[in-house]
Amino acid sequence: MQVGNAKRQINANRIVVKIGTSSLIYPDGKLNLKTIDQLAFVLSALCNQGKQVILVSSGAIGVGLNQLNLTERPTSISAQQALASIGQSKLIMIFNQRFEHYGQQIGQLLLTHDVFDYPKSRQNVLNTFEKLLQRNVIPIVNENDSVAVDELDHKTRFGDNDQLSAIVASRTNADLLIMLSDIDGFYNMNPLKSPDAALISEVDQITPATFEVAGGKGSEYGTGGMFTKLKAAERLMNENRQMVLANGREPKIIFDILAGIPVGTWFNPLQRKEFSSHGSK
């Protein structure tokens, strides 16, 4: 792990961008239209540059809460699924409006875990991804929360969109996952509790000690937060793929990431470094 400001060598043509609920929705439940508009602008610009882009977006239940003027998330699965159904339709409508403003076509894919578990359905959805990307269309992906549940052996939930984004990046053979969150990156200690916490610029290997820094799965810093992001990074690094974790407050940070500016935390596997040091194929 490194704390530094050296320029990065990030070469990526197929990119998965994951943005979390906290970046899309204000604390009062209202949609953050500024962030959504900037995200649409940036991703559209990347497509105009010849990049292939996939967006994994959270926020369906949060938007559903706002649509029904609710302040607390219900506890029952059926009520949450109903909110997801309402929120997803609103969310994709907003995305379609903003991307259309920049002349960019989008497509929606709502996925469940079993789609990737079964070879035939997996190949079908991967074919869909490929056709969309070939036509310069941005697939917008979310978990199909209105139907996804875990029942006995039939697992349909991904668990969280951090894992979903890593699986999508892996299965679509993406070069890079950019994970936009409400935190600037991975720190050497919990920044919520330690004012002296320092941002780690680069991680080239994830070990049990790395997870300990995140505080473990049961911690305030780890639950549904840094722990799941490290699991996503671990999956990708094991496949010699890169991930950058950065703050999604201003999605134009994506331009900085692709320009090699050292923002956020770059999860860059050792294998890729060794490959780079010996030259290209």
Distance CA 266, CA 155 (A): 31
Strand pairing category for 265-267 and 242-247 = antiparallel
- Provide CB contacts within 8 A for 208, sequence distance 6+: none
Length of the chain: 281
Query: Is 73 within 8 Å of 61 (Cβ atoms)?
Result: yes
Query: Is 200 within 8 Å of 188 (Cβ atoms)?
Result: yes
The tokens for 190 are: 């919990």
Which residues define the annotated binding site for substrate?
58, 145, 161
- Classified as helix, coil or strand, 247 is strand
Distance CA 154, CA 39 (A): 35
- Classified as helix, coil or strand, 192 is coil
Which residues define the annotated binding site?
18, 58, 145, 161, 181-182, 223-229
How does DSSP classify residue 104? -
Distance CA 130, CA 178 (A): 19
- Number of helices (H) and strands (E), helices first, in the chain? 11, 10
Which residues are paired to 56 by β-bridges? 18, 141
Which residues define the annotated binding site for ATP?
18, 181-182, 223-229
> In angstroms, what CA-CA distances link 17 with 41, 104, 168, 182?
13, 16, 10, 14
Residue 101: Cβ within 10 Å count: 12
- Classified as helix, coil or strand, 234 is helix
